């Protein structure tokens, strides 16, 4: 086991991204920060580094505990990092707010019929 691992390999091995190319793309877009700094996909990760990973509508702030270049099982991946307490609280708050607020289109079970569309158009005007 080496002392450093490429950040794209580590994010893939820790199961934050399904493929390494998705991890590389996210890092290029600046969605993965190492010690509060934007890095390139080839940048090395060391033990104790703080990473901030934005994926979908989630933001994880984690500390690197283990370095692996190969992708293992989910239980192995969970031992590679530890999420900060602040991050856990923020993600719980976001999840709670998401439950309270429904997306406008989530209520619709199907597309409106012609008659329903006319009623919607009439109500809007």
pLDDT > 90 fraction of the chain, expressed in percent and rounded = 80
- DSSP state, residue 98: H
Question: 38-73: per-residue pLDDT in tens?
Answer: 999 999 999 999 999 999 889 999 999 999 999 999
Euclidean distance between CA atoms 17 and 101, whole angstroms: 27
Residue of higher predicted confidence among 107 and 11:
11
pLDDT band at 2 (very low <50, low <70, confident <90, very high): confident
Superfamily of domain 5-124: RNA-binding S4 domain (3.10.290.10)
Q: What is the pLDDT of residue 57?
A: 85
Beta bridge partners of 50: 63
Contact present, 11 and 27 (Cβ < 8 Å): yes
Residue 12: both structure tokens together: 């893939």
Question: 13-37: per-residue pLDDT in tens?
Answer: 999 999 999 999 999 999 999 999 9
Beta bridge partners of 60: 53
Helix, strand, coil % in the chain, rounded to nearest 5: 40, 20, 40
Q: Is pLDDT of 84 > 90?
A: yes
Name the 3-class secondary structure at 81: strand
Rounded to the nearest integer, the mean pLDDT of the chain is 93
Q: What is the pTM of this model?
A: 0.80
Q: What is the pLDDT of residue 22?
A: 97
Euclidean distance between CA atoms 21 and 30, whole angstroms: 14
Domain residue spans of the chain = 5-124
């Amino acid at each position: 086991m080496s002392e450093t691992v490429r950040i794209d390999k580590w994010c893939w091995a820790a199961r934050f991204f399904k493929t390494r190319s998705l991890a590389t793309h996210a890092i290029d877009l600046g969605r993965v920060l190492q010690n509060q700094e934007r890095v390139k996909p080839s940048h090395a990760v060391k033990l104790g580094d703080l990473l901030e990973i934005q994926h979908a509508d989630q933001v994880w702030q984690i500390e690197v505990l283990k370095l692996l270049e190969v992708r293992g099982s989910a239980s192995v991946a969970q031992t590679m990092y530890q999420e900060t307490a602040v991050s856990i609280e923020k993600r719980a708050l976001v999840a709670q707010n998401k439950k309270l607020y429904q997306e406008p289109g989530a209520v619709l079970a199907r597309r409106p019929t012609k008659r329903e569309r006319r009623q919607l158009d009439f109500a809007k005007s």
